[in-house]
Amino acid sequence: MKKSTSFSIRDIAQIGLMVAVIEVSKAALSFLPNIELTSFWLIIFTLFFGWKIIAVVPVFILIEGTIYGMNLWWIMYLYIWPLLVLIAWLFRKNDSAFFWAIVSGVFGLCFGALCSIPYIVIGWSSGTFMSGLRAGFVWWVAGIPWDFVHCGGNFTLMLILYKPITLAMRKINSSNIMI
């Protein structure tokens, strides 16, 4: 019997729920600068739902662009969130809250550097490669204090939430409840 490569109704519902959880969490913490649960949920959903995350990320990014407008930050989302999912996928066998807190914290710390890439390209296109590097570097350095906040928030939230959420996810998976 050939295995189906299409999404089932259950898959589509789960993808919709995952995106909704990310969006609601993002909105709930929006009053805190650079404190977010998006990184947490993308890691958790990658660990528990595997390949379905491939549909979650573009839907999330598209919804973000629809709500907030598609600007330079939106271009950054096109590679930043898939990168986090790839990292989570590569280390998916690890079940340590501390490990995932470090991964999430380092990701938050590197977020600004990753976001500087479009500024490098824009600066390069309007001058030389060095002017592009300068533009990206200046943009990144200006945001370093916020990267530290992002790092601390990601680390702390993952450390606190990893065990209870993974326990709940395992119970849901073992009882075959739809999420």
pLDDT digits (tens, 9 = 90+) for 147-174: 999 999 999 999 999 999 999 999 988 8
Angstrom CA distances, 31 to 18, 27, 34, stand at 22, 8, 9
Q: What are phi and psi of 34, to 5 degrees?
A: 65, 20
Residue 3, pLDDT > 70, answer no
Residue 116, pLDDT > 80, answer yes
Task: Determine the topology of domain 9-173 in CATH.
Answer: Arp2/3 complex 21 kDa subunit ARPC3 (1.10.1760)
Q: How many CA atoms lie within 13 A of 114 on its CB side?
A: 19
Model confidence at 24, in pLDDT bands (50, 70, 90)?
A: very high
Closest among 147, 150, 140, 116 to 36, alpha carbons compared: 150
Asked whether the CA dihedral 54, 60, 63, 68 is positive or negative, the reply is: negative
Tell me the domain boundaries of the chain: 9-173
Residue 5, pLDDT > 70, answer no
Which residues have a Cβ under 8 Å from the Cβ of 15 and sit 6 or more positions away? 7, 52, 55, 56, 59
CA atoms of 93 and 91, how far apart (whole Å):
6
Contact between 19 and 56 (Cβ < 8 Å):
yes
CA atoms of 131 and 135, how far apart (whole Å):
6
Q: Where are the beta strands (DSSP E) in the chain?
A: none
Look at residue 6 in the predicted model and tell me its pLDDT.
82
CA atoms of 52 and 46, how far apart (whole Å):
8
Model confidence at 76, in pLDDT bands (50, 70, 90)?
A: very high
